[in-house]
A and B are shown apart, each in its own frame.
Chain A
Amino acid sequence: MPKDAVRPSRVPRLPLRELPLLVLFAGLLIYFALKSPFFLTEANLQNLGRAFFPELALLTLASALVLLTRGIDLSVAATLALSSVIVGALTVDAGMNVWLASGIAILVGVAAGTLNGVLIVVIGLSPIVATLTTLTLYRGIALGLSGGNSYSGYPPDFARLGAGTFAGIPNQVLIVLVLVVVVAVVLHRTRIGRWIYAVGGNRDAARFAGIPAGAVTIGVYACSGMLSAIAGVISVARFNTARADFATGAELDAITAAILGGISIAGGAGYVISAVFGALTLAVLRNGMTLLGQSGFLQVIVIGVLLLLCVLADRGFRRLRLRREAAAQLTSVPSGSGPTTPDRPETPTPTIKESL
């Protein structure tokens, strides 16, 4: 019975929530294809898959997981930088095997994420405060370790991780796809996944249902740290160097991508696959605008405006859906209890939240 009560309520599988994003993505593809003859060439698509997409996708995946539990992780980009510097310090300074160093860097990422989770769950800090603080701390450690210098010089087989392809697809894109599938399967096919949605939907209800909400939260932050650290290793392989200022400010892009992808910042609703699609959309936008010679600042304006528009569009659709569901319930009242029981933690709290 409690096990049953934990299942996230079914978000209608209509693409309604993702519709604005789909329209945007298609529009961008058409626009850039028309504007730049170079956009749809193999070389540019390789570049898109190598330079614009993978790290952003991993950071977005990390942010999305945390947002699902109704938290926020602002330290993902700092963790990326920290893990990349650790790869560099261990390989270049200490002469360690680069793959072993990468493994250690990923463990450090897990530790960094776990610290975030502990600060939030055990100490009781709010996620914003905790991860804002560790953002400063992790990037500070990266800067301290590297002394502001960059670590260059890695063995060729490591560089292939960043420059090689498999069946024509950049290696790192394949890594990202595998990780996305793993995360999605865990979220939608395992009990832990249902726990994550339940904790984000209604923490107290989840706890009363016997879910170890604290452990789930810490675990999610640890995963976020791990994914960010993997992104750090990929960065090192791609640039063939490691620096403390890698991905400065990328946490904002990652959160934007997740929200574009329909992840609710009120927790408990959204699909990580859509979030990664949001990352792909941002990557296309940045790639296309760069091709057209439009500056990074113009890109930031466009991304900000798109974020606002997507949030507004999402709310419009949500109202529509709620109205439709209300109408459906009205017509189905005589038939009795129906498929859901009323005391279940409904996942997408119809939250036009007391917007604070």
Chain B
Amino acid sequence: MTELRRRLGAREPLLGFVIVAVFLLVGLRSPDFTTWGNLEAILTDTTTVAIVAIGAGLVIIGGGIDISVGSTLAGAATVAGLLAQDGSAPLVAVLAGIGSGLALGGVNAVLVVGLRIEPIVATLATLGIFRGVLSQATSGKLIGDLPDGFTVIGTGSLLGLPYLVWTMFTLTLLAAVVLRWTGFGRTVYAIGNDIRAARLAGIRVARYQAATYVIAGGFAGVAGVLFAARNGTVLPTSGSGIELLAIAAIVVGGVDIFGGRGTVLGIVLAALLLQMISAAMVAVGVDVAWQNAVVGVTILLAVTLFAVSHGRRSVVHA
């Protein structure tokens, strides 16, 4: 726990400072950037990645990894979209979407925890399988014409903030509280820190690890539903590659890729920072073609600086 507290005293305030600094500095060059409307847009654009990253981050904190979350997102978006299109009640569509996310997370849990396949191999396989299955199921067609009752989830707002942003805040708070102040959360940290010690301490490691994969599926499911509601259309390719952005946010946010360390707040702030940098590049007028390269350099600098400033953990390879 002291380790945790030391981390909290370092990464999150720094991320917050950089976010504010970027926001204000870009505002000096293009005043349109520092407006409430733009901040709201940036927050809204952050939601999908942030929610996916919270779930995937939980898996990594627990010592695993899940790179199938982008496909899970697409699966949930497809289920929710199809149901909404067929005229189901929005609540039914939402719950079914989240449920399918949980189920796909369950598939990962069975492969990793039940069959003991290395997580990166198992989720590499399901990354392809999930997306392949849903493309076959929808024949690769676009799902559109979603009813207003459903899309309002993605477009409506409350007290001046979109529902999407409220959802992100709520899930962040929920996950942060669960991770820091419940037995479940502390157990996940313990497993990620030292699985043998956790096992010797009598923790049912398999159960908790399985739970992290299911929860990651659930978060990707929520993100998928929000994605469908916001865009109004779903394609089999929706959300592909989001796993890379999520892992970038997780790592920049201070989660140790080998497990045991990191906070939800750090993950979400890092997702916000990455989104803000993307928006800043548009505002400053960076050539669109070069934006990915700038994002790459940013992530590289961030992880390198953090690695150097926190000292190396010997040279570990996994």
Contact = CB atoms under 8 A, between A and B. Distances in A.
A265 B123 CA distance: 14
Contacts of A71: 317
Interface in A76-118: none
A126 B251 CA distance: 10
A65 interface: no
Contacts of A301: 128-129, 132-133, 136
A83 to B, nearest CB: 15
Contact of B129 (A70, A295, A304): A304
Contacts of A267: 317
Interface stretch (A128-136, A151-159, A178-186): A128-136
B318 A312 contact: no
A7 to B, nearest CB: 21
User: Which of B63, B112, B128, B129 counts the most A-chain CB atoms under 10 A from its CB?
Assistant: B128
Nearest to B191: A356
Nearest to B257: A126
Interface string A340-356: 00000000000011111
Contacts of B16: none
Contacts of B43: none
B289 A129 contact: no
A119 B292 contact: no
Contact of A305 (B129, B287, B303, B316): B129
A252 interface: yes
Contact of B132 (A121, A255, A298): A298
B307 A124 contact: yes
A144 to B, nearest CB: 4
Contacts of B316: 124, 126
B262 to A, nearest CB: 13
Contacts of A164: none
Interface residues of B, number: 57
Contact of A139 (B135, B258, B292): B292
A281 to B, nearest CB: 16
Contacts of B63: 356
Contacts of A312: 115, 117
Contacts of B217: none
A193 interface: no
Contacts of B121: 259, 265, 307-308, 311
Interface in A135-184: 135-141, 143-144, 146-148
A136 B117 contact: no
A143 B289 contact: yes
A159 to B, nearest CB: 27
Given A259-B121, A356-B259, A300 B129 contact: yes
B313 A124 contact: yes
A225 to B, nearest CB: 16
A144 B131 contact: no
A217 B222 CA distance: 41
Q: How large is the interface on A (under 10, 10 to 19, 20 to 34, 35 or more residues)?
A: 35 or more
A126 B312 CA distance: 11
Given A70-B318, A119-B304, A311-B117, A136 B295 contact: yes
B156 interface: no
Contacts of B64: 356
Nearest to A204: B314
B244 interface: yes
A303 interface: yes
B136 A129 contact: no
Main secondary structure of the interface of A (DSSP, over half): helix
Contacts of B251: 129
B126 interface: yes
A140 B290 CA distance: 6
A304 B117 CA distance: 13
Given A126-B258, A265-B121, A304-B129, A148 B289 contact: yes
Interface string B115-142: 1111111101111110111011000100
Contacts of A261: none
Given A129-B303, A297-B136, A134 B296 contact: yes
B1 interface: no
Interface in B23-65: 63-65
Contact of B315 (A124, A259, A299): A124
A43 B257 CA distance: 47
User: Which of A148, A256, A311 counts the most B-chain CB atoms under 10 A from its CB?
Assistant: A311
A317 to B, nearest CB: 15
A120 interface: yes
A356 B195 contact: yes
B171 interface: no
Given A124-B315, A136-B292, A143-B293, A355 B119 contact: yes
B304 to A, nearest CB: 5
B128 A304 contact: yes
A119 B297 CA distance: 13
B136 A307 contact: no
Contacts of A126: 257-258, 316-318
Interface in B216-252: 236, 244, 247-248, 251
A297 B295 contact: no
Contacts of B196: 354
Interface of A: 69-72, 119-121, 123-130, 132-141, 143-144, 146-148, 203, 214, 217, 252, 255-256, 259, 265-267, 295, 297-301, 303-305, 307-308, 311-312, 315, 352-356
The 9 closest A-B pairs by CB, nearest first: A137-B296, A140-B293, A140-B292, A301-B132, A124-B312, A144-B290, A297-B135, A304-B129, A136-B296
Interface of B: 63-65, 111-112, 115-122, 124-129, 131-133, 135-136, 140, 195-196, 236, 244, 247-248, 251, 257-259, 287, 289-297, 299-300, 303-304, 307-308, 312-313, 315-318
18 contacts: A71-B317, A119-B300, A128-B247, A129-B247, A133-B303, A138-B296, A144-B289, A146-B289, A252-B127, A255-B124, A297-B131, A297-B132, A297-B136, A298-B132, A305-B125, A307-B125, A308-B121, A356-B119
